[in-house]
Amino acid sequence: MSPTVILISMVTEKISDTYHVIHFDNGNVIHLVGTAHVSNQSVEEVRSIIEEQHPDRVCIELDDGRMKSKTQENSWENMDIKKILKDGKGFLLLANTALASFQKRMGAQTGADPGAEIVGAAKLAEEMGIPVSLCDREIQITFRRAWGKSSLWNKCKLLATLISAAFSNEEISEEELAELKNEETLESMMKEVAKELPSVKEVLIDERDRYLATSIFKAEGKTKVAVIGAGHTQGIIRTFERLEKGELSLDTSDLTAIPPKGVGSKIAQWIIPTLIVLLVVLGIVLNGWDQGIKAFLWWMVANASSTFVFTLIGGASFLTCLLSGVTAPFFVLNPVLGVGIFAGIWQASFKPPKVKDFENMSNDALTLKGWYKNRILKCLVALLTSSLGSILGSLVAFPFIIARI
């Protein structure tokens, strides 16, 4: 008679909404601590669990770049605003700055620095001689994947959401933060995000659930404490279950690749220049060269004027506004380039950022006045406002062009 084989599946022990202990078949144990990134309560809870468990390893929701920015003084010295703009990462920096501003504003209300519980976990582990694993995906990859997978409309909604959050005056208490860590509340919030911004939810939440879980799962040590945002808790536990059963690969290389532009995105960027050319040609065919050229000049004036005005409203230097306005129509006709990128670069050239701008960037981002005062932030504002001005100028011009055909 053959012996009976008993298969023991992964066991999850729920201590609280924010603290789960996961026991695996091989005897490994992971203490999963879900936190609010601006909560003093989370800071204390993380410290208490690490001291009590004294694990073989502490895993945290940070990548190498963010860890350095949070722990190294003068980390801004490595920032080259012109290179960021030239590499087409200006909107990513804008989104990241707006998000960081929102977190800092929330932290100021609760008395906790954003991410203090995660940085505190790393420092405590170092003091106790416990190795630390940085388990999150590089932030630039996450933002680029979210941006690349979003439609134009969702990109606009994402930027609008982040910018409005950055200037929000809404107050939040430790009690309200505690409620946000409740499983039912988090589940409801995730569904809302999935409804409004499905591609963003997929990249910022679902993909990172898998990436974080896999990194924590692979990290060495029989007993580990993992400190992650509370919104990732249930997704990470579900991923642990699939990894334990062998249903999911430990390879996460597919999550670090930057998706190429889709066919729809490539076609979309040529819609406006194609329409302009077609309308001008139609005007020439129907009414002769004179009317066709007049229609084209109408569009150029509308686009240039709108770009100039919007860039001026953004607080850019007069030369930046003038150059942006004059060149905007030509950038529209060649969408591979963008007036916003050059507006930001020109602003950085005419009004070079000073040391104090780098040092005060996070504080200045908390107020509208700060965005107009800080020279780095003004480059990002020039990027945004000149782009908006050029797009709106073209759209407004179309009815006038059609009326003259």
- Cβ neighbors of 42 (< 8 A, separation 6 or more) are 18, 33, 35, 36, 112, 117
Question: CA angle at residue 164 from 161 to 166, to 5 degrees?
Answer: 105
What is the Cα–Cα distance from 93 to 162, expressed in whole angstroms?
A: 12
The residue to which tokens 């942006």 are assigned: 324
Question: CA angle at residue 69 from 162 to 122, to 5 degrees?
Answer: 110
Give the three-state DSSP class for 192. Answer: helix
Q: Which of 173, 168, 34 shows the shortest CA–CA distance to 99?
A: 168
What is the Cα–Cα distance from 278 to 269, expressed in whole angstroms?
A: 15
Alpha-helix runs per DSSP H in 62-138: 64-71, 81-86, 90-110, 116-127
Contact of 282 with 405, CB cutoff 8 Å: yes
What is the Cα–Cα distance from 361 to 84, expressed in whole angstroms?
A: 16
What is the Cα–Cα distance from 124 to 127, expressed in whole angstroms?
A: 5
What is the Cα–Cα distance from 35 to 62, expressed in whole angstroms?
A: 13
What is the Cα–Cα distance from 250 to 266, expressed in whole angstroms?
A: 33
Bridge-partner residues for 16, per DSSP?
Answer: 19
Contact of 36 with 181, CB cutoff 8 Å: yes
Q: What is the DSSP letter of 205?
A: I
Give the number of other CB atoms < 10 A from CB of residue 334: 10
Buried b (16+ CB within 10 A) or exposed e, 199-228: bbbbbbbbbbbbbbbbbbbebebeebbbbb
pLDDT by residue, tens only, the chain of 405 residues: 344 433 457 898 999 888 999 999 989 999 999 987 667 788 899 999 999 999 999 999 988 888 887 776 655 556 778 887 887 777 777 777 776 666 666 555 555 567 788 889 999 999 999 999 999 998 888 888 887 787 777 777 777 776 666 666 665 555 555 555 455 555 565 566 666 778 888 888 899 999 999 999 999 999 999 999 888 999 999 999 999 988 999 999 999 988 776 666 666 667 777 777 787 787 777 777 777 787 788 888 888 999 999 999 999 999 999 999 999 988 887 765 688 889 999 999 999 888 788 878 877 887 888 888 888 889 989 998 998 898 888 888 777 777 666
How much of the chain is in helix, strand and coil states, percent to nearest 5? 65, 10, 25
CA–centroid distance for 17 within its chain = 26
First to last CA, the chain: 92
Q: Which of 63, 58, 70 shows the shortest CA–CA distance to 122?
A: 58
What is the Cα–Cα distance from 328 to 308, expressed in whole angstroms?
A: 9
